[in-house]
Amino acid sequence: MNDTLLRQWTMLRLIPLHPHKIASSELKARLAEAGHDISMRTVQRDLNSLSSTFPLTADGENPQGWSWAPGSPRLDVPALDPQAALAFKLVEAHLQRLLPTTTLDYLAPWFHTATGVLETQENGLAAWPEKIRVLSRGIPQQPPAIGPEIQSVVYDGLLQERRIALTYQPPWAEEPKEYLVNPLALVIRDGLLYLVCTMWDYKEVRHLLLHRMLAAELLEEATPRLENFDLDTHIAQGEFSYPLHPGLIQIEAQFTGHASTNVYECPLSEDQAMEELEDGTLLVRATVRDTFELRAWLLAFGDEVTLRGPAGLVEEMAGIVANMAVRYL
């Protein structure tokens, strides 16, 4: 896209409707913020040129203020400034799996325009998308394939609050199952997409993985409202950490090496307490949920963590480690 045209479009969007006004010096500063660092002479030349085509007026004061003439229709310029273009590029790179297909189709021309806008920039904005990456902890794994038609149906059901007829392959079943689901929310966790939903007329909230869906049909029936459901509360209660027992427990463990650095920099809970022992290990006490994920997290540190309590969990972890030793030795 021509840089002069983009600059002048941006300028037209910055000029207010009379009786409000904007000075040439402020226009110059606002244009610089948008990535158009030009001289005051160029600003004045652009204003004079644009005022011959558009109903722009100057008040003749010192400093001179510019505005759209009284009663003139505001120009809704279908353009992006560099800051907005950068935002669109980051959405395109990182949020595509979160957006409904219809929204992505609507945004496609804006993604294309954003690329053109950034390609005309000579400042750091154009290179910004190449300087940002989002990584997850652990061994990188390829996300499982999801049928695009199935994903579209699920997103439409969630967006329009309509029921979905699903053919689903549970990991514990040899044959697929037929479900009538009421979509509530979508959660992306470690590259996996989960549909948070209820089934038929039951109130129990379930999680279904999109890659296990074999067929999906959007129905005309509206999703029954689930009273008092809140996604953030659902997550905060540990439902995506796979709780093994209700409530909270207080763990006590000694950490060394990388594990101690990890738990020091990223506390397990708000009430976490730490104490450095004489042997150099870090004794940590924290109140956490009793989940499968807690066990996996502790095991991931290997011999850099020694669990001291609670007694029941210590016994369970000792059994796991003993079974591992048998397999390795």
Q: Is the pTM of this model over 0.75?
A: no
pLDDT, averaged per 10 consecutive residues of the chain (329 residues), comes to 75 82 88 84 89 84 84 60 80 78 73 77 73 76 84 90 95 93 90 92 94 95 91 87 84 94 93 93 94 91 94 94 90
Q: What separation in angstroms does the CA of 329 have from each of 317, 321, 323?
A: 18, 12, 10
Q: Using only C-alpha atoms, what is the Rg of the chain?
A: 29
pLDDT of residue 300: 92
Domains, the chain, ranges and CATH?
3-68 (1.10.10.10), 82-131 (no CATH), 148-234 (2.30.30), 242-328 (3.30.70)
Tell me what pLDDT residue 108 has.
77
Return the pLDDT at 269: 93
